[in-house]
Amino acid sequence: MDVLLAWEKSQEPLDQVLENIMSGVALEDPRDKQFVMALVYGVVRWQGYLDAIIQKFARHPLRQMKPLTLAALRVGLYQLVFLDRVPESAAINETVQALKLARQPKWLTGFVNGILRAMVRQRATLAAPDEAAAVLSHPAWLVARWEALFGPERTRRICWINNTLPPLVVRVNNRRISTDGWLPLLREKGIECERGLFAPGAVRINNFQGPVTGLPGYGEGFFVVQDEAPQLVTQLLAPFVGTRYLDGCAGLGGKTLHLTQLVPEGARVVAVDPSLKRQALLKENVQRLGGPEIEIHATTLQEFAGQCQDAFAGVLVDAPCSGLGVIRRQPDIRWKRSLAALQGYQDKQRELLAVAAGLVDKGGVLVYATCSIDPRENDEVIAAFIDEHPEFSLTPAQEYLPEPARGFCDEQGFLKTTSEQGLDGFFAARMVRKG
């Protein structure tokens, strides 16, 4: 409940809010942290569905409830509906006890207790998640947007997939171990795993509940967490014949690290990101994974471009975006975005792409990517860029992708992945600066 309330007030992602609170809590059993995570992510993922049921039993609108009361009802109801291993009595009693510990008045704890017990008594009348209209559990503006773009049937399918747990996907660090060498280490521990379907070096790990640090070879740098879709994006910088490459919006550095595995020996890889925290995490991963040093700049791309004297054979702009393509992995995104915000993202993306263009050498490659499935952040951005920068031309992304992934490209040559394919939703366009 504390995590959910803090997230509602915060602008930070759910995982960061969760980590901030959990780092100050001592739990005797390590499984308790996994249980807390399951409750938090489950409630956020199914919030629309849970609220629809709560409203059915409550006499007044949810917006008039105290935030703590609504959080309690969501947590209690989520356990009753989705967690078979939690006894009904425990789900109700622990929820009520939490309110008592928060010194809530007796009438309020009685109110929550009464609603949860009424839900148990009338469980048979509750619409199952796959039968309820609220199964979409996405904000109305987003459902309407996707229905206009993709049609009702595909929208329902995307929403349903977004409400399921994604597999853990990693990229094997081929400097330390081969995929064939690492898979047996996982299977010896009883971990269900398989090769990725589309990206070389990808491994999908199913039904894994523990921390990734507990996987074999974490400390030895055998792998890094990264979905197959962003692994495909980095490969669009091919043919990798230059000596200088730039990741202009490095973030946590997953693509930067991948780039160091793809470029020729001796090539220089530069990463730019203004966040000191993300920079520190990237440095930690560089040390863990080994390989060539990465030149890291804790600044904005605009500031870097103003000082940089070099031109690069390849520049990647994985632009800040709405994140609408990774809702399955980050369920809180759906509740923190708005239709109006999409235009703001586009303005920023166009600015970054224009700045990056000036850093690309003649004959060099410029790759633009987002983890969004909205054309306002994707197709429209590229159309405007090509119109304003005739020195660049589009090249078909499929020519630089592994055979199994080429079907993800549309008639314009854009790479477009979605959760329907079992991947994170990504967009990427490959452009070349004319010589």
The most distant pair of C-alpha atoms in the chain lies apart, rounded to whole Å, by 75
Which of the residues 159, 193, 249, 371 is marked catalytic?
371
Co-location of 421 and 324 in the same domain: yes
111: left (phi over 0), alpha (psi -120 to 50) or beta: alpha
Co-location of 6 and 22 in the same domain: yes
Q: Which residues of 348-376 are buried (b: 16+ CB within 10 A; e: fewer)?
A: ebbebbebbbebbbeebbbbbbbbbbbbb
Co-location of 91 and 232 in the same domain: no
Co-location of 333 and 397 in the same domain: yes
Co-location of 252 and 369 in the same domain: yes
pLDDT of residue 12: 92
What distance lies between CA 297 and its chain's CA centroid?
Answer: 24
Co-location of 206 and 243 in the same domain: no
Q: Which domain does 34 fall in, by range?
A: 2-134
Domain annotation covers residue 145: no
Which stretches does DSSP call E strand in 220-372?
A: 223-225, 244-247, 268-272, 295-297, 312-318, 360-370
Q: Which residues of 226-237 are buried (b: 16+ CB within 10 A; e: fewer)?
A: bbbbbbbbbbbb
CATH number, domain at 94?
1.10.940.10
Contact 196, 228 (CB under 8 A): yes
Residue 329 CB partners (closer than 8 Å, separation 6+)? 166, 227, 424
pLDDT of residue 25: 85
Co-location of 181 and 246 in the same domain: no
One-character DSSP codes across 170-222: EEE-TTT--HHHHHHHHHHTT--EEE-SSSTTEEEE-S--S-GGGSTTTTTT-
Active site residue 371: yes
Domain annotation covers residue 414: yes
Backbone angles phi, psi at 173, to 5 degrees: -85, 100
User: What string of pLDDT tens digits covers the 435 residues of the chain?
Assistant: 999 999 999 989 999 999 999 988 888 887 888 899 999 999 999 999 999 899 989 888 999 999 999 999 999 999 999 998 999 999 999 999 999 999 999 999 999 999 999 999 988 777 766 555 567 899 999 999 999 999 999 999 999 999 999 999 999 999 999 999 999 999 999 999 999 999 999 999 988 878 899 999 999 999 999 999 999 999 999 999 999 999 999 998 999 999 999 999 999 999 999 998 888 889 999 999 988 889 999 999 999 999 999 899 999 999 999 999 999 999 999 999 999 999 999 999 999 999 999 999 999 999 999 999 999 999 999 999 999 999 999 999 999 999 999 999 999 999 999 999 999 999 999 999 997
What distance lies between CA 310 and its chain's CA centroid?
Answer: 32
pTM above 0.85, yes or no: yes
Co-location of 240 and 389 in the same domain: yes
**Does an H or E element contain 41, and which?**
helix 31-45
Cα 358 from Cα 273, distance rounded (Å): 18
Type of residue at 178? S
Structural domain count of the chain: 3
Cα 262 from Cα 248, distance rounded (Å): 17
